Structure 1
């Protein structure tokens, strides 16, 4: 049953680097927004904008009729949705659940089945675009679930993103995000190697970007992260630790599918080295440091 727009109460779980911006777009549109995150300090800006803090996921779930989650890892998703104090056990029938965390396709399918038993509608809707896309409401949103639920939630998803596509049934959004991360993993190696080559050759890497950024070599990482690499700005738009998590899911899923992914394996091994050296909370562009230490 459709929820009238003016009666939608948005519950948002997870207000980190991206979640905070994503939730803020609903506040600026005049929606009632309830928020929960493990560290209340991360929600202070949203509370100042008019969001209402909830002490427990269960409290948020019982009051919202659309619940969006953007947490860290699959075990967090499992706890938030399937735990005793989780969303599925406390949401009212007819509530729409949208998990925007990058997680396992099989977990998304399991959540869908459990939600259905409780007369809840579930979508897996991971995103791409990083902190910039979240801030500017220009995320790519890859959705898995039923057509009816997608059609009902598409207007809300489009408040956060400009490229919102239903990829298929439950889990299809997560599978699509794995394709995205596999592409990015090898592309990041290429970006780092290009900048390192430019420096070794005595070129100005910024001027090199002006040339290659308008040709066939262009990519989101080249446009948005290469300038940060050159400037030595390693602040996280997307954490290395979360990229490692995503690559691990992609490798596990690819293995289940019988697919070899040597580029992905190499990228993960380099990111693992960086994490072991204390860079897990840096942005993914900090991978350039691996190349710099080879000098």
Structure 2
């Protein structure tokens, strides 16, 4: 029986916990590291080995996965003091599943390659639910042979796994995904606000439109949460804003106008100013409710 590659996982946040657990369930030897050490205890109890640093984790792993918040975090855990680059062996593979700048991804890959360490960028979509269920969409950039090497690990975490081209292509595609996500969130918010004002039964309206041309993952999964005034995050406003910022920076570099995405960035900013950055990205509707003086779902709860 072929020996499975040893996997290291860095970043046990809202997405990383479920992803790491599914790797463990798939039978891969797993070592974990998180900046907040207490988050390692739960997975350690399930059989994962806790590491003392990203470099220590990398030294004991063949495939090293990072899933952290932003570009500086990725740079720190991979290139910083005690980072992956200082422990990884030649021939090992680093997979960054965070959402960061495509340009930064290429710079990191270049520095790793100087030490004969491979890299894939493989950002994800599907929310915390997808991370827990192992149904994420995974968008991969990098060498095709390394993609094939990593595929069994990807299959433990996701269902839609696509190799998109050279390093950085995964991150660019993830930014495409985020333009669509926030666009769907705004369309859903406007539609539910309109339905509320028009006196329509909101639950029945959701059922009526979800199966047609207007249906979307956002509508089916986050629409019911809005009606229940449930703002628990599959993805927080703060993280969504970070991704929109990356989109707008890259669009500016490319000379591409994105007026709708820029507007959504400003609407989310009003919610952050109210201290709501920890809520789910579907709370975008609160920005429109504030403009209209209407709360969606309130009367429908008692219907």
The 3-state SS of whatever aligns with 1:162 is: strand
The 3-state SS of whatever aligns with 1:225 is: helix
From 59, 67, 71, the counterpart of 1:62: 59
- Does 2:66 correspond to 1:43? no
The change in CA–CA distance for 1:52 and 1:102 in structure 2 (over 3 A counts) is same
In the TM superposition, 1:150-189 aligns within 5 A as 150-189=147-186
Q: State the 1:55 CA deviation.
A: 2.1
Q: State the 1:47 CA deviation.
A: 1.6
Contact 1:142 1:177 in 2 (8 A): yes
The unaligned stretches of length 5 or more in structure 1 are none
- Structure 1 distance, partners of 2:86, 2:53, is 13
Q: State the 1:290 CA deviation.
A: 1.4
- Does 2:181 correspond to 1:222? no
The change in CA–CA distance for 1:259 and 1:52 in structure 2 (over 3 A counts) is same
Contact 2:54 2:78 in 1 (8 A): no
Q: Deviations along 1:126-184, whole A, 9 cap, x unmatched?
A: 00100111111111100010111111111211111111111110100000001000111
Alignment-derived partner of residue 131 in structure 1: 128
- Does 2:138 correspond to 1:141? yes
Alignment-derived partner of residue 81 in structure 1: 78
Q: State the 1:57 CA deviation.
A: 1.1
Contact 1:124 1:170 in 2 (8 A): yes
TM-score, normalised to structure 1, is: 0.96
Runs (4 or more) in structure 1 with deviation over 4 Å come to none
- Structure 1 distance, partners of 2:132, 2:249, is 31
Alignment-derived partner of residue 243 in structure 1: 240
Alignment-derived partner of residue 286 in structure 1: 283
- Structure 1 distance, partners of 2:4, 2:199, is 60
From 272, 276, 279, the counterpart of 1:275: 272
Q: State the 1:43 CA deviation.
A: 2.8
TM-score, normalised to structure 2, is: 0.94
The 3-state SS of whatever aligns with 2:149 is: helix
Q: State the 1:287 CA deviation.
A: 1.2
Length, aligned pairs only: 292
- Structure 1 distance, partners of 2:91, 2:4, is 13
From 93, 96, 99, the counterpart of 1:96: 93
- Structure 1 distance, partners of 2:247, 2:107, is 18
RMSD over aligned Cα, in angstroms?
A: 1.2
- Structure 1 distance, partners of 2:92, 2:115, is 10
Which segment drifts farther, 264-273 or 80-89?
80-89
